A and B are shown apart, each in its own frame.
Chain A
Amino acid sequence: MKQQVKKGVLEIFVLAILMQGDSYGYKIVNDLVQYIGITESTLYPILRRLEKANELNTYNVLFQGRNRKYYQITQIGKKHIDEFLLEWEDVRKIFDILVK
């Protein structure tokens, strides 16, 4: 995927993963890496941005004697996905009109 397109959709993909249920950093990377090139270092700023925008909440769970940070999508995050998909539909419609 082209870098410019990827940049815009990564946040949506992370939110989409979280729509399936709460998840943690390592699992998010592994779930995404099958479809799109992403590393832990790429994911960190995305998670922090979404957290700052209140699109996801975090909580810690004790796992094998250490903390595992879980991410949970919020209503604002869900709204972000809906708005993105609507815009995407608009792009598709305009494209279809232009190529007719």
Chain B
Amino acid sequence: MKTWLKELERELKKRFYLTEVNDILSYYEEMIQERIDNGEYIGDILSDYDAKEIAKSVTTDVVMKRANDTYRTLVRSSKQLMQFLLTTPLLIPLGFAYVIVIIVFVSLIISLLATVFGLAVGMTVIFINMVQSGLGQNEILGFIGVGLMGFSLSIIILIGLSQATLYIAKKLVYLFSKIAKNKGERR
């Protein structure tokens, strides 16, 4: 039993966090122990379980159960989901759809970031030109005021964008996990 649990642990560690690994391991350890206590032979019990298959089959549930509220967990969940979808024959089309959605989503974020950055650079260039062209103090002060307002607005947009990114990415992971799960269960 210990050898099999080690094998399951190895498979789970490739995909999940330690707390998730421990939760699944303790569940199967308890199940196997209960079956042994009820008179079943260890060989028969273990022949019912396939460590690789177990690790794969719980992927969508584990990913869905995760809070996924930091970029780190989101990137990890996203990678695991993508890997799972692209290595499960029935789910490969869904895997490709997920990859495309992620590419579009990341491109949009990069475009928005580039726009905000471009605005900041543009404002700086205009400000330098105004100083060099010898404008009066009032005009320059007025422009600094407008510039600061623009800068504050950009910061607000960036914060909002960061939260929206997190939220949408989280929903995407959940949505695709759910579709994959439903498709898997329909098999």
Which applies to chain A's interface (DSSP): helix, strand, loop or mixed? helix
Determine whether A95 belongs to the interface, using a CB cutoff of 8 Å to chain B. no
In chain A, what residue has the closest Cβ to B62?
A: A48
Contact residues of B between 108 and 158, Cβ < 8 Å to A = none
Determine whether B49 belongs to the interface, using a CB cutoff of 8 Å to chain A. yes
Contact B34 A49 (CB under 8 A): no
Contact residues of B between 55 and 99, Cβ < 8 Å to A = 57-58, 61, 65
> How near does chain A come to B17, taking the closest CB pair, in angstroms?
14
Measured between beta carbons, the chain A residues less than 8 angstroms from B34 are: 24-26, 68
Q: How far is the CA of A39 from the CA of B27 in the complex (A)?
A: 13
Please tell me which one of the listed residues A3, A7, A44 contacts residue B27 in the complex, with CB atoms under 8 A apart.
Answer: A44
Please tell me which one of the listed residues A4, A25, A66 contacts residue B186 in the complex, with CB atoms under 8 A apart.
Answer: A4
> How near does chain B come to A60, taking the closest CB pair, in angstroms?
9
Contact A45 B61 (CB under 8 A): yes
Contact A26 B26 (CB under 8 A): no
Given the known inter-chain contacts A39-B48, A45-B61, please indicate yes or no for A68 contacting B30, CB distance below 8 A: yes
Measured between beta carbons, the chain A residues less than 8 angstroms from B31 are: 25-26, 29, 40
> How near does chain B come to A2, taking the closest CB pair, in angstroms?
10
Contact A48 B61 (CB under 8 A): yes
Question: Counting chain B CB atoms within 10 Å of each CB, which of A7, A41, A69 scores highest?
Answer: A41
Interface size class of A (residues with CB under 8 A): 20 to 34
Determine whether B28 belongs to the interface, using a CB cutoff of 8 Å to chain A. yes
In chain B, what residue has the closest Cβ to A4?
A: B186
Determine whether A100 belongs to the interface, using a CB cutoff of 8 Å to chain B. no
Determine whether A93 belongs to the interface, using a CB cutoff of 8 Å to chain B. no
Question: Counting chain B CB atoms within 10 Å of each CB, which of A3, A7, A40 scores highest?
Answer: A40
Determine whether B33 belongs to the interface, using a CB cutoff of 8 Å to chain A. yes
Given the known inter-chain contacts A3-B185, A4-B186, A44-B24, please indicate yes or no for A26 contacting B65, CB distance below 8 A: no
Q: How far is the CA of A24 from the CA of B35 in the complex (A)?
A: 13
Contact B49 A67 (CB under 8 A): no
Determine whether B37 belongs to the interface, using a CB cutoff of 8 Å to chain A. yes
Q: How far is the CA of A3 from the CA of B181 in the complex (A)?
A: 13
Contact A48 B30 (CB under 8 A): no
Q: How far is the CA of A52 from the CA of B23 in the complex (A)?
A: 13
In chain A, what residue has the closest Cβ to B182?
A: A7
The residues of A with any CB-CB pair to B shorter than 8 Å are 3-4, 7, 24-26, 29, 39-41, 44-45, 48-49, 52, 64, 66-69
The residues of B with any CB-CB pair to A shorter than 8 Å are 23-24, 26-28, 30-31, 33-35, 37-38, 48-49, 54, 57-58, 61, 65, 182, 185-186
